[in-house]
Each structure stands twice: as C-alpha cells, then as structure tokens.
Amino acid sequence: MAAPTPTQAEMSPDALLDLDRRHVWHPFTQMQVWPDDEPLIIERAEGNWLIDVHGRRFLDGVSSLWVTVHGHRRKEIDEAIRAQLDRVAHSTLLGLANVPSILLAKELVDLVPDGLTRVFYSDSGSTSVEVALKMSYQYWLQRGRPEKARFAALGEAYHGDTLGSVSVGGVDLFHSKFRGLLFPVERLPTPHAYRWTGDGDCLEGSLAAAEKLFQEKGRELAAVIVEPLVQGAAGMLVQPSGYLRRLSELCRKHEILLICDEVATGFGRTGTMFAVEQEGVRPDFLCVAKGLTGGYLPLAATITTDEVYSAFLGTVAEERTFFHGHTYTGNPLACAAALANLEIFRREKTLDRMRPIIERLATHLAEIARLEHVGEVRQRGMMIGIELVHDRATKAEFPYGDRVGHRVCLAARKHGVLLRPLGNVIVLMPPLSLTADEADLLASALRKAIVEVTETG
C-alpha cells in the first residue's frame, strides 16, 4: 500500500494551507488571527491519535470536539458503515422507514431511563434541542394549556447554535449579539459553587431560585432545559450533587416538562451511560448527538415519553402532527455507525474499563490543581475543566484578549497533545478508549503547558 493518497499526490501541505486560508471559514474562529497559529491539517488518525499532513502525531485530548468515543478508525464501526453502504446510503424517514433507524431506536430505548420510549431523529445537537423545544410547546397547546408557552434555562446554558437553541443559551460571549433575534427565556442561576454569588450555598440557593420562579411563572412555563451534571461549553461547570434530582422534582410539582440536553454528557462521558442516571432522573425529553455515532457521522435523537407522543395523535384533519423534520433524518449510514458504537460499549464493557483511567486522571489533576494559576479543577468522569486565573485568592480572571487558554493549548501541542480551550478553561475530554500511558501523557503535557504559559511565559 505505497500509493499516496490523491491529496498528498496533488497538493503539498503548503498548497493545502493556502487554499484553506482562501476559502474555508472556520467555526467559532477569529479568521484574522487563524493563520498566525500555524494551522494543523489533519489527514488521518489511529486510535486516540490524530496525524497531520506532515505525519506529526497528536493525542486527541478533546475527542475531536467531544465526539470520538472508542477512538478513531474503530474496525467495527468502519465495517458497519461499509456494510450499510452495500445496502443503501440514504433513504428518507418522511413517509418511509429504514432498517438501521428502527434497530437503533430500539437500542436507544433499551439504554435510556425507563419511560422514554419514542425516538425522533435529527442531525445535530442543536436540532435535537430545537425538536424538544417545539415538541414541548406544541404538547401544551394540544393538551389545552396554550398559556404554557415559555421556557426556563440555566444562566450559562449552551444548547447549540440554531436560533431556538441560542434563545435558551446563556453564554453571553456567544449569544448576546443575537438577542434581537431570539425569544425571551426565564433564567435560573448557574448551579456552580466556585463562582456562586447568589444567596446561601450554591445548591440550596439555586434550588430556592428555581422554586421561586416556578411559583411565580410555572403556569406559563412549557419546559425547563438543562445540561445534566456538567455544563460543558460554559466551562465544564460541575453541578452540586442532588441539584438535578431536586430540580426534576420541582418540575413535576409545577407541571413543567424537563428537557435534559445530554448532547455532551451522553454516551459514557460522565462515567455512566447518561448523566441523568447518576441522579435517578427520568426527563420528559433526552437530547443526544455528539457521541451517538462514536464520533463518525452527524446524527442526533430527541427521546421522549408515550405521554408526550400521545398528545400528537389524532386524525390528519385535526392537524396535531409534529410538522418538523430534517432532510437527512434517520440516515442509515449514521444509524449503522451508532449501532456499532453501542455494541462496542456492551462487548468491551467500556464503562467498567474506563473507571481506573478516570481515577488515574484524577490523581494527576490533584497535582495540577496546586499550580499557581489554576483556580479550580473540575472533573466528572472523562469531562474535565481546568480554570486558569490571574490570582487564586481573588479568583481574578485573565483578560479575554490575552488568550491564555488558547496559548496553553498551543503549548500543549508541542508536547504532542491537541486541546481546545473554552476561554480561560482548559478542557480535557479524551476518548473513553484512553489508555493509562495516554492519560499520563495528557496530564504531563497539560502541566508543562500551563507552567510555560502562566509561570514562565
């Protein structure tokens, strides 16, 4: 197999880079400074490693933006997609069914908490949230409660980048510019102790605020949306234990539907298959995407109850239909990849296998937590955030424009690890297939990078 791939044959790395600069507009990226950082062009991967066009190898420390589960190029997933290619690549779910989407729906229903029985497919985390928002809104209309038309969300929520999901989003840097386009949303305080400024302690204070809001406005609320256990894009903010369970009880009491957005936390990231399991919560909607296909193909699902589903039943003339669908909904290739992904969890007992790795990372992180400019280290399973601060005593932040998080991630590259920060929070979200040696490398590269940038840099 000495034959070069066409890109290598036709294009030098420099020529590729030149074309990228000319034509590709990268997401969440200031394009004016993008070329300054010697962009990497990834060409292939092996296991938990990404390899660029120069043949340099990097440990994929953020699972290619939180999606890769069992590593890249897993034979079983590769083969499942190839086998599906020999049958059909795509066929619509609008008025037709297809085999992999049926099998996957059954698998998902078996996997999620009891009572979640109906699977509505779409193609991204954002769309899975749009679906939950629209379904909950229409649910109350069709139950004869049209006044229940508003939503509540957490202060620093992130639920995607389409307008509905941005409306419920609360990360000012990303979302405030678009406020003029968005529907208004009630806010619950972010339940995060490190920067808690509300009354009382974080857990009791944030629940008291929720109870107060529900008493005042619960009658108008269709649903509350939360990222369970960990608010990812807000900076890996870990919720106090008990928060989700008690919030879900408040929702039940006030007849408010609960949407749990497990787009980031789903598929083992927090140590259990779904984060809601750790709090014994069965939401009315569970949104999944990122890890669903093992990081191979875009696919999402919004999983709901018979109770919600039945509110949409009626004759055609009654117009209770859920008029929503994306063209590639239930794509057979993506569903085949997802089935293979879930089969690996079962066969390899991934959740058991990763437990000592999570412990090993925790041990390393305890060391890193002592560094001069580390404010807080947060970990829930394989989801980790290291918040860098200018001053540990006052928790004063580094100025946004200093790009300290970004510089730490660039420094980590020199030590063979690819990371992507969220502001001044360094995110580690390795594939669940991370080995002990790789965990050691990840931690040592991170430690060196933080020291280089914040202590000597």
Ligand X SMILES: *Cc1c(COP(=O)(O)O)cnc(C)c1O
Task: Tell me which amino acid residue 407 is.
Answer: R
CB atoms inside a 10 Å sphere around CB 352: 8
The count of other CB atoms within 10 Å of the CB of residue 90 is 12
Stretch near ligand X under the rule CB under 6 A, chosen from 40-48, 56-64, 261-269, 365-373: 261-269
Q: Binding to ligand X by residue 125, rule CB under 6 A?
A: yes
User: By the 8 A CB rule, do 199 and 205 touch?
Assistant: yes
CA distance 73 to 76: 9
252 class by beta-carbon count within 10 Å (0-12 exposed, 13-18 middle, 19+ buried): exposed
Kindly provide the b/e burial profile for residues 420-430, where b requires at least 16 CB atoms within 10 angstroms of the residue's own CB: bbbbbbbbbbb
Q: How far is the CB of 158 from ligand X (least distance, A)?
A: 6
For ligand X, the closer CB: 125 or 405 = 125
Q: Which is nearer to ligand X, 135 or 264 (CB)?
A: 264
Per-residue binding letters, 154-183, with ligand X (x by CB under 6 A) = ----xxx-----------------------
Is 151 a binding residue for ligand X by CB under 6 A? The answer is no
Cα–Cα distance for residue pair 376/395, rounded to 1 Å? 9
**Should residue 124 be labelled a site residue for ligand X when binding is judged by CB under 6 A?**
yes
Residue with Cβ nearer ligand X (77 or 301): 301
Q: Which is nearer to ligand X, 50 or 166 (CB)?
A: 166
| Three-state secondary structure call for residue 24 | coil
Segment lying near ligand X (by CB under 6 A), choices 9-17, 122-130, 338-346, 362-370: 122-130
Q: Does 289 bind ligand X (CB under 6 A)?
A: yes
E strand or H helix at 413, and its extent?
helix 404-414
Question: What's the closest the beta carbon of residue 411 comes to ligand X, in angstroms?
Answer: 25
Of 237 and 311, which CB lies nearer to ligand X in the complex structure? 237
Q: Minimal distance in Å, beta carbon 405 to ligand X?
A: 17
Instruction: By CB under 6 A, tell whether 261 contacts ligand X.
Output: yes
Residue with tokens 């619509």: 92
Task: Please report whether residue 264 would count as binding ligand X according to CB under 6 A.
Answer: yes
Indicate the helix (H) or strand (E) that contains 120: strand 116-122
Using the rule CB under 6 A, is 233 a contact of ligand X? Answer: yes
Question: Of the two residues 230 and 443, which places its CB atom closer to ligand X in the complex?
Answer: 230
Using Cβ positions, the residue closest to ligand X within the complex turns out to be: 125
In DSSP notation, 295-313 reads TSS--EEEEEEHHHHHTT-
Which residue ranges make up the site for ligand X (CB under 6 A)? 124-126, 129, 158-160, 227, 232-233, 261, 263-264, 289-290
